[in-house]
Amino acid sequence: MAKIEINIDDATLREAEKILHSLGMNTEIAVTIFLRRIAIEKGLPMTMAASALNQAEPDFSEVSGEVFDYESIQVTRSNNKITPEMVEEVWCSFLRYIEGSGEINPLSTEVSEKSGMNRGSAFIYLTVLANLVNGDPNTRVLKYKDLEYLMDRIKTELGESKYQKAIQSLKMSVPYWREKIPGTFADKVEAYCKKPS
């Protein structure tokens, strides 16, 4: 897998990251989408003209063979808050994932269809959970209260070993979140990791 490094002014990056975070993604995902669209369209996936502001941009972007309609994601996200019932559906699907009876992409769609949760949000929640129980760092985030709830479910249902891997994952993720995610999310997670079990 290739790695790229780009230079961009801080203000532009911060503003873009805020918007991307509201869409449930990070800069890496957005750049990947952009580059894949270039490969698919054999050119820039936007009009490069002075009148471009009046023209519609493509509605769909492809990630890992999957098509997302970002215009409807924006509308859905602004009108569809993540509820405890949605998080419970994510947990039930995640249990199927760790038992080997489902993959994250189709399970995300299933969660969305069953609970009304945005499909992109379901994908992020399931991916974060997978990284937690494997002890891998995360670049994506959940609502903090949902993270606490899911950490409790990991501890009570999957056992101390998986819970300790999840704590390890959180500790490894904090520096990234502190640098890239605005607000106090990283501080809350760090404090959570320091609480006695």
With 80 as the cut, is the pLDDT of residue 194 above it?
Answer: yes
**CA dist 69 → 56, 59, 100, 127, 130 (Å):** 13, 6, 29, 20, 25
pLDDT of residue 35: 83
Task: Check the CA dihedral 81-84-87-89 and report its sign.
Answer: negative
The enclosing H or E element of 163 equals helix 160-180
Q: Which residue has the higher pLDDT, 128 or 1?
A: 128
Structure tokens at 4: 């790229």
Which residue type, as a one-letter code, is found at position 29?
I
Residue 158 pLDDT more than 80?
Answer: yes
Does residue 51 surpass a pLDDT of 70?
Answer: no
pLDDT tens profile 109-150: 999 999 999 889 999 999 999 999 999 999 998 999 999 999
Dist. CA 150–CA 171, nearest whole Å: 16
Structure token pair of residue 101: 């009876």
CA distance 119 to 107: 9
∠ CA 187-190-196, rounded to 5°? 135
Model confidence over 90-115: pLDDT tens digits? 999 999 999 998 899 999 999 999 99
Please report the pLDDT score of residue 54 as a whole number: 40
For 55-78, the pLDDT digits (tens) are 333 333 333 333 443 333 333 333
Give the count of beta carbons closer than 10 Å to the beta carbon of residue 149.
16
Cα Rg, the chain, nearest whole Å = 18
* Helices and strands (DSSP H and E) totals, the chain: 9, 2
Confidence of residue 2 (pLDDT cuts 50, 70, 90): confident
Cα separation, 61 vs 51, in Å, equals 22
Per the model's pLDDT, the better-predicted residue between 38 and 50 turns out to be: 38
